[in-house]
A = this chain, B = another copy of it.
Amino acid sequence: MAYTIKDVARQANVSIATVSRILNGQQGYSLKTKEKVMRIIEELGYHPNAVARGLINKRTHTIGVLFPHLSGSLVTDLLRGIEKAASARGSSIMVCHTESDKEKTMKYLHLLSEKRVDGLIFTSETLREEYYQFILKANIPVVLLSTKSDEYDVPYVKVDDYKAAYSATEYLIKKGHTNIGMISGRKEDLIAGKPRIDGFLDAMKDHQLQANDKHLYMANGFSFIDGIEGMKYFHKHTIGITAIFAASDEIAIGAMSTANQLGINIPEELSIIGYDNINFAEMSIPSLTTVAQPFTEMGEQAGKLLLSILENDEIPENQTVAHRIIERDSVQEK
């Protein structure tokens, strides 16, 4: 059984109040007693009980982080950033895996609320009304990460997908491409689907280039297999495109893999730009030019944002962070 403040007090022949004062760097004791107490603490290997502290201080120095999926470097990148911000301020993080499931999410929301976490970071998923109402009622500060809410006023940190898609397309255009296709997610996906499609379409339009239904292949998701389907589509319905904007790196790599099998040379015959900058983007052949979201920085910002809400009790600005284009070898000047 671990030692308590009482044990320290008894051994040092002082009251627990004095020990507490010393522990919390307050004043009201002589140097002599401080030294004595510190020595006892050292000897006993005493550590304050954070649970008891949390009970009285109403702060647990713990924040809950909810992930819909626990896989891929997206998660670890975000996590690393959040952890950095949290540990810099002495907080730890509790990781939850919701599986995009309503009930599991609610279960976790209840759990985190019971555990009295100081705040919540909700990532990569739509904030449903049920979640929002609960959080509101439980009065837990929350920030959205890599997602945002159109309906509720909740601070968020994310990149502007529309802008990023727009500039990816523009990048291709500046390289001289005029006939460009896109392999996207579903337009019903308001977070990662529609904004990127709109960015692509608008960039084309603004440069007086044609982009109709034939230029857009809407896949079911953002994975390798979707890229394969997309490439097959553009190979079959030949409309003479010289470049593709893929809505994810996995799509891009799937497309490149299929192009390879079809005997299409990349980037000589077809340029491809991806989206995400996953680890593997630099290992593919050719290495993949892509739009990077700075996930680690985003995680860190979200952590800082949440902590500053906790400290200052003020609600700061939303943070739209900048994407950037990583130039590698899969796009060629035309």
Decide: A47 and B95 in contact? CB cutoff 8 A. Answer: no
**Among B71, B84, B116, which residue has its beta carbon within 8 angstroms of that of A73?**
B71
Interface centre among A52, A94, A280, A283 (most CB of B within 10 A): A283
Tell me the residues in window 79-124 of chain A with beta carbons closer than 8 Å to chain B beta carbons: 79-80, 83-84, 87, 90, 92-97, 110-116
A265 interfacial by beta-carbon distance below 8 Å: no
Q: A93 → chain B, closest Cβ, in Å?
A: 6
| Alpha-carbon separation in the docked complex, A70 to B112 (Å) | 23
Decide: B92 and A97 in contact? CB cutoff 8 A. Answer: no
Query: How many of these chains are in the complex?
Result: 2
Decide: A137 and B51 in contact? CB cutoff 8 A. Answer: no
A301 interfacial by beta-carbon distance below 8 Å: no
Known pairs A55-B52, A73-B72; A282 contacts B224 (CB<8 A): yes
| Alpha-carbon separation in the docked complex, A83 to B111 (Å) | 14
Among A141-149, A252-260, A306-314, the stretch in contact with B: A252-260
Residues of B within 8 A of A110 (CB): 47
| Alpha-carbon separation in the docked complex, A260 to B62 (Å) | 49
Decide: A137 and B45 in contact? CB cutoff 8 A. Answer: yes
Decide: A94 and B93 in contact? CB cutoff 8 A. Answer: yes
13 contacts between A and B (CB under 8 A): A47-B138, A51-B60, A55-B55, A72-B73, A72-B279, A76-B76, A87-B96, A92-B111, A94-B95, A250-B283, A257-B283, A280-B280, A283-B284
Residues of B within 8 A of A116 (CB): 49-51
A31 interfacial by beta-carbon distance below 8 Å: no
Q: A220 → chain B, closest Cβ, in Å?
A: 17
A68 interfacial by beta-carbon distance below 8 Å: no
Question: Looking at chain A's contact residues, is the secondary structure mostly helix, strand, loop, or mixed?
Answer: helix
Tell me the residues in window 241-295 of chain A with beta carbons closer than 8 Å to chain B beta carbons: 250, 253-254, 257, 260, 279-280, 282-285
Residues of B within 8 A of A49 (CB): 55, 114, 116
Residues of B within 8 A of A139 (CB): 2
Given contacts A49-B114, A80-B97, A94-B94, 11 further A-B pairs with CB under 8 A are A47-B110, A49-B55, A50-B114, A51-B54, A71-B80, A72-B73, A72-B279, A87-B97, A92-B95, A93-B95, A260-B285
Tell me the residues in window 12-57 of chain A with beta carbons closer than 8 Å to chain B beta carbons: 45, 47-52, 54-55
Tell me the residues in window 124-154 of chain A with beta carbons closer than 8 Å to chain B beta carbons: 137-139
Residues of B within 8 A of A84 (CB): 97
